[in-house]
Chains A and B, each alone.
Chain A
Amino acid sequence: MNRISFCLLLAMNYTFNQNAYADVTAAELLEKYDKIMGPAQFESEMDMTSNREDGTSRTYSMKALKSGDDKFRIWFTSPSAVSGQEILRIGDNSWLYLPNLKRASRLANRDSFQGGDFNNSDILRVNYTKDFDGKIITSEDPSSYKLELKSKNKDTSYDLIHLWIAKSNFMPLKGEYFGTSGKKLRSAEFSDVKEYSKSYTRPAKVLMKNEIVPARSSILVVKKIKIDITPAPQKFLQTDLGKG
């Protein structure tokens, strides 16, 4: 009798544990991450501060507009050195518009975003579902899921990503980004979860640490963000660059 109940308990325990993982799949977690970090469309105001190895730091302010999976636009507003610069992403192509030259030049995904530790695709191309295969692996921290994301194609700027997601609210906690060699290139911490609207909550702050040069890091702070918008299609035309 005792033995039977023990076995039953064991079995139940096993099932529940299984359920704790089985109730959500890696694909679902990725989808949630994409929804939180890169909603289908949004309009936002952000600051990116990059701390350099020489001890200096610089803060760039920008407005961003996203439409669908593959369209993104950024207007830099300060400091004056970059004010008037714009970025437009359409699909796999991105351009940086320089007001002094009145011309747009191509940006590569791997290039760093305004000389900081985010690269362009970190900011402009948040769509892990499309770019990565995810699987849930054992997390060191029982309150979080740990995802291992393996790149699906050669175009992603990272080969492998480890992503920790809170079990309680599905908010991302931290990330680690690796090169093909297996070397850790960057690590991120997501913090300051903030409810921007009733339907939208996300970490307001992303700290991106440069693992190659540890004295370098960059912080992205989302000051305002609205997701219930309908972006005007003409904002995502190359001819609109420089028109504000």
Chain B
Amino acid sequence: MNSKIIIWAKNNLFNTWYNAVITLFLSYFLTKAVRSMVQWIFSVSWVVIPRNLKLILTGAYPVDQLWRIWFILLVGTFLAGISYSLLKKGIRGTVLVLILVPALLASLGFSHVSRMYLLSLSICQVVGYLSGKYLFGGKAVIIAAVGWVIFVPFIYVMVNGFTGPEGFLPLVRTNLWGGLLLSMIISITSIILSFVLGLFLALGRRSELIVIRYFSIGVIEIIRGVPLITLLFLGYLILPLALPANITIGVLLRAMAGIVLFHAAYMAENIRGGFQGLSKTQYEAAYAMNFNKFQSMVLIILPQVIKNIIPVLVNSFTGMVKDTSLISIIGLLDLVGISTAIAANPEFMSDSQQVLLFLSLIYFILCFSISRTSRKIEASMNYDK
């Protein structure tokens, strides 16, 4: 084993004198960089993270209403558990990690209530998995699909509340939403809505009706020609001017409209690429069998188009998650916005680097899990093996 590494290093890193020099040179700097990084990590105080964890995760969301966020997570992990039971094998490792992470987090120094919730997240996944496998049987697919579809509006209802200032689910105004919660809500909304809108724009661009076609082309090209930040400012500053005085739209909604429109235009082009990549013979087979246009599209064409563009879609999705950080510019307190706010607190003024690093870690975990999940989905959709 040890000699194998030596032989490999000899062949690849020290095979010529100049490679040897480069290797030594680079390893010197790498070691130095890593060493000083590690030194820094252990020398600074990280107390800023636990002290502000609630802010980073949920912003100014009322503490006595936090159970609603936990409840969303519990329902989500239960649905995830059902979904695991449907996926093909080869994901046991991932599932195990997903189940163990909350349990491990629970062993850290959180409050008793948080620990209880975290443990419940693990339990919910296991219960979901078991009930998907042994209780629901053939209906698990339908339960999971319907569950996920209802889940998104459910998030809104739970976070926003509907019973007015008092009652079971009191209204929590959007200016109190913040941190990871806000970033996630915007990400999920923009991923779903921009995909749907992009799909319609892509279909519109292929339409035989000239008005629809040129309208779609116009929308796509105009939006693609404008930077996202400009669209956000347009929504923030110009949109209120264009609306009648008695109609006001919240900042969050205006920001989301900008993000969704922007990504829909790119999504439309991705989907169009998928349509072009699909052989014309699939349409012919569908028409020859007397499927109407709608059936051909939904049953035969779209599933193949979407499968083919999963890598591109996922690329866009991770881009969207990161792009949500731009909304901090118009004053919304998402992950980036809240960390700026924390750094502005005199008590933590010198700790902004730690917050930034922690933030990067959160974004990395989010985007990395999206791309990992998509690989699994892609593999499970491979029909040739």
Chain A bound to chain B: no
B-side residues, CB < 8 A to A, are: none
A-side residues, CB < 8 A to B, are: none
